Structure 1
Amino acid sequence: MRSSLCHGTCVEVELSLDLTSPTQLRELLRTHGFRIKKRLGQNFLVDRNVLDKIIEIADISNHDNILEIGPGVGTLTLSLAERGARIVAVEVDHTLIPILREVLDPYHNVTVVHSDILALDMPLFIRENFGDGTVKVVGNLPYYITSPVITKMIEARSCFERIVFMVQKEVADRLTSPPGTKEYGSMTVFVQFYLQVEVAAHVSRNVFFPPPDVSSAIVRMTPRSTPPVDVPSEKVFFDIVHCAFGQRRKTILNSLSNCPALSLSKDEAARILHEASVDASRRPETLSLEDFARIARCLDA
């Protein structure tokens, strides 16, 4: 297979391996004595149409700086490299590093880093690898690490232009759900406060090797320049959110009056909810970001 790679000028890269072929992928893994680790959620993408869709959603060009989280065997990395982007791929599994170096050897625009993404000082890592340039983040995230990685991205959001992740459909629903749904929770509020988030595509379990037990979705997240609601203190806002959803079976009145972080009596909580025009009998999952923000403003007044 011949691939065109551009860095201002185009060169031809000869690829003898098709990683979207399950047969060739199995042979590559066998050659390296690699065993798939279920505990790391290793399901490798083997569908070129989905690869192209990720590239499209991330809007990749040859001028982009790309941080790829969890490249696996390098299937998506190859597609990114073919577009001439500058890529730093961070992989936690040391047994995948020899495979990645073999697969990506023809490409001089890719750097493979063996590290746990959660252990990195992200602003420092971005500065050391990309200078002051803006960065797009892509990755196929296993379920067990999705929330910590998204939290890590939010903490370093000023570094990023766009974040595109493949996640389990259940996670995508939780990130994008409106108030009043069972998926809506503290993670929803946290992510939507800092990021514009949307489900860009749904993905069948059958496009992975081995197939996972659930369907997936591609989510596109863009850091907000300012939050969508006005709060006097982010700490107070999220104290309220965490207390509310930590006791989501209770009414918002009982949640707030039983929250150690807020130290409110029931009468004080009732007064604040009244001033915020929030019915004290409502359940936390029915409150919007603006509802929580009004409570925070009244509490801080």
Structure 2
Amino acid sequence: MKLYAPSTIRQIKDKYGFRLSKSLGQNFLTDKNIIDKIMEESFIGKEDLVIEIGPGIGVLTAEEAALAGKVIAVEIDKNLIPILKDTLADYDNVKVVNQDILKTDLNQLIEENNTIEGKPVRSVRIIGNLPYYITTPIVMKILEEGAKVDSITIMMQKEVADRMKAAAGKKAYGALSVAVQYYCTVNHVANVPKEVFVPQPKVDSTVIRLDIRQEKPVDLKDEKIFFQCIKAGFGQRRKTMSNSLTGVCGLSKEQVGQVLEAIGIDGGRRAETMSIEEFAQLANQVYCTIRQ
């Protein structure tokens, strides 16, 4: 059964009386070339555990099951559960879980499924075609909670992917860029035009793979202060660093000036010009200042 074929999607909808939910951002991929590219760039092997977020009718899930040792598909829509049991009936290495990924303890889920045929899982790979409205919260939950995964291959709105990939000085560069790049290396997988979905969304998509860093790119004295500086810096993009940092960790404007001077950063610069290394220098100097 070609689950990606529009005719198959129509048949499934008719058979189960299933109605697509706009509120859940349900759009099903119909391009086999893109599906193959996602599988190829996810580097799935027989010793790997795949956790799929939002399997829908199982378009990607079936492909994952053919490659992986074990697949856990986390689907929030209870109306899709009987459909998935039907479309994935040929695969005995797939488990469908009716849960909200934002309320799921991923490390517990991984711990409960950490063996394949009695052997330890080699890698844990997350794959998903995420609803546009909730992409960032899902990605940041995975990263901030320290989920024990090796990679996250996800399809998202092109604009959000551009922000995650952006380098300092680029228009799309912002707090999300710094946060994601602190935790991961970002790899472009594929551009996905809106025309290859059923129903067709209003915007194009991009697939990226986030490889979780074994070592962070910068050394921090206090990670919390690092993210406070990032949030403050990008909070009001038109403000200079001198103004936007005032009040962070209780620092006065004079102290902010001293911090910036100590690390050789012009207080008139704006956050979008600051590299992740400069934010790390800044955070470490703030840490030293408040500890005096």
Secondary structure in 1 aligned to 2:279? helix
| Alignment-derived partner of residue 19 in structure 2 | 35
Conservation of the 8 A alpha-carbon contact between 1:18 and 1:25: no
2:29 pairs with 41, 45, 56, which one? 45
> Out of 145, 151, 156, which is 2:140 matched to?
151
Q: Which AA in structure 1 matches 2:54?
A: G
The aligned residue for residue 109 of structure 2 is 125
Match of 1:196 in 2: 185
Deviation, structure 1 residue 115? 0.3
> Of 233, 253, 256, which aligns to 1:269?
256
Once the 2 structures are TM-superposed, how far is the Cα of residue 57 of structure 1 from its aligned partner? 0.6
Aligned to 1:78: 62
Residue 90 (str. 1) matches residue 74 (str. 2): yes
Q: CA deviation at 1:29?
A: 0.8
In the alignment, what sits opposite 2:278? 291
Deviations 1:274-295 (A, max 9, x none): 1111110011111111111111
Match of 1:168 among 120, 132, 157: 157
The one-letter amino acid of 1:104's match is L
Residues of 2 paired with 1:173 and 1:33: CA distance? 37
Q: SS of 1:232's equivalent?
A: coil
Equivalent of residue 220 in structure 1, options 209, 214, 217: 209
Q: Which amino acid aligns with 1:215?
A: D
Letter in 2 for 1:147: T
CA distance in 2, matches of 1:156, 1:232: 19
CA distance in 2, matches of 1:162, 1:58: 8
- Using the TM superposition, give the Cα deviation of residue 190 of structure 1 relative to its aligned residue in structure 2, in angstroms: 0.8
RMSD: 1.3
Separation in structure 2 between the aligned mates of residue 51 and residue 85 of structure 1, nearest angstrom: 19
Q: Judge conservation of contact 1:71–1:139 (CA < 8 Å) in 2.
A: yes
- Structure 1: 5+ residue stretches without partners: 1-16
Secondary structure class of the residue paired with 1:88: strand
2:48 equivalent in structure 1: 64
Secondary structure in 1 matching 2:251: coil
Secondary structure, counterpart of 2:35 in structure 1: helix
1:250 counterpart residue number: 239
Q: Secondary structure at the match of 1:221?
A: strand
Q: CA deviation at 1:198?
A: 2.0
TM-score, with length taken from structure 1? 0.91
The answer to whether the 8 Å contact 2:38/2:189 transfers is no
Find the aligned partners of 1:165 and 1:110 in 2 and give their Cα distance: 19
Q: Is the 8 A contact 2:170 2:272 kept in 1?
A: yes
The answer on whether the counterparts of 2:126 and 2:153 sit within 8 Å (CA) in structure 1 is yes
Q: How does 1:2-13 map to 2 (within 5 A)?
A: none
Q: Secondary structure at the match of 2:20?
A: coil
Query: Is the alpha carbon distance of 1:251 and 1:199 closer, same or farther for their aligned partners in structure 2, counting shifts above 3 Å?
Result: same
Instruction: Tell me if 1:100 matches 2:97.
Output: no
Amino acid at match of 1:169: K
1:281 is aligned to 2:268: yes
How many residues of Structure 1 are paired with residues of Structure 2 in the alignment? 283
1:10 aligned residue: none
CA, structure 1 residues 255+84, in 2 after alignment: closer, same or farther (shift >3 Å)? closer
Amino acid at match of 2:271: P
Gaps of 5+ in 2: none
Give percent identity, aligned residues only. 43
